[in-house]
Amino acid sequence: MTTQVNKDLTYIKIGTLEDFRERMGRVIRLNEKEIVVFRTTDGTLYALDNRSPHRRGGPLAEGMVSGHFVLDPLYDWKIALDTGQVQAPDTGMVPTYPLKIEGEDVQLGLTLEQAGQLALER
């Protein structure tokens, strides 16, 4: 993991490493919000909003993972896992979240604002 750890983020434990299998998306649900965590073949973990930026939306969790990309299951868009950037010829961006691994624990980083929003929603 090379993700930079931002001091202003709040880290929440979302599971342990074995909860996340290679090339399979796992949905993390925070109230109404869905984030998906992908684990690539080389073991890297990524967290993104579980929503395709395609105008008709749809989940990303069921997409096929190839290298450091996920292929949108509904519209076959190619999306970079690290940046959330939709690859040409399509355009768009998926919000991404930092992850922190401590021992076996996987933690999701949220900004104070995001965490506050969650607290509000709760």
Partner 1 sequence: MGITRQKLVLIGNGMAGINTLEHILKLSPEQYDITVFGSEPHPNYNRIMLSYVLEGSKTMDDIILNSWTWYEEHQITLHTGTTITSIDTQQKIVFADNGLFAAYDCLIIATGSNPIILPVPGHQKQGVVGFRDISDCSVMLETAKQYRNAAVIGGGLLGLEAAKGLLNLGMNVTVIHLMADLMERQLDPSASAMLKAELERQGLHFLMEKQTAEIYGGERVEGLAFSDGTKLESDFIVMAAGIRPNTALASASGIEVKRGIVVDDYMQTSAEGVYAVGECAEHRGVCYGLVAPLFEQGAVLAKQLCGVQTKPYEGTQLSTKLKISGVDVFSTGVFLDQPELTVIRKQDDWKQQYKKLLLKGDTIVGGVLYGDVSDSSRIQQWVREGAAMTDAIYAELMGTAGTALSAADRVAQMADDEIVCGCNGVSKGSIVKAIKDNSLTTVDEVKACTGAGRSCGGCVPTVSHLLQYVLGDEYAGQKTKTGICGCTDLSRDEIVAAIKEKHLTTVKEVMHVLEWHQSEGCSKCRPAVNYYLGMLWPQAHEDEKDSRFVNERMNANIQKDGTYTVVPRMYGGVTTPEDLKKIADVAVKYEVKMVKVTGGQRLDLIGVAKEDLPLVWKELDMPSGYAYAKALRTVKTCVGQQFCRFGTQDSIGMGIRLEKTFERIDMPAKFKMAVNGCPRNCAESCTKDIGIVGNDGGWEMFVGGNGGIKPRIAELLCKVKTDEELVQMVGAFTQYYRLTANYLERTSEWVERLGIEAIKAEVVDNMDRRRELYQDILAVLAELQEPWSAALEEQGESSYLFEAIQLK
Residues in touch with partner 1 (CB under 8 A): 12, 14-15, 19, 21-24, 26-30, 34, 41, 56-59, 62-67, 71, 73-74, 76
| Phi, psi dihedral angles at 121 (to 5 degrees) | -60, -30
| Phi, psi dihedral angles at 40 (to 5 degrees) | -85, 175
Q: How far is the CB of 57 from partner 1 (least distance, A)?
A: 7
Q: How far is the CB of 48 from partner 1 (least distance, A)?
A: 14
Residue with tokens 């999306």: 79
Q: How far is the CB of 8 from partner 1 (least distance, A)?
A: 20
Task: Give CA angle at 100 (6, 34), nearest 5°.
Answer: 95
Q: Which is nearer to partner 1, 19 or 104 (CB)?
A: 19
Q: Which is nearer to partner 1, 57 or 116 (CB)?
A: 57
Q: How far is the CB of 94 from partner 1 (least distance, A)?
A: 15
Instruction: Give, as one character, the DSSP assignment of residue 17.
Output: G
Cβ atoms 13, 116 nearer than 8 A? no
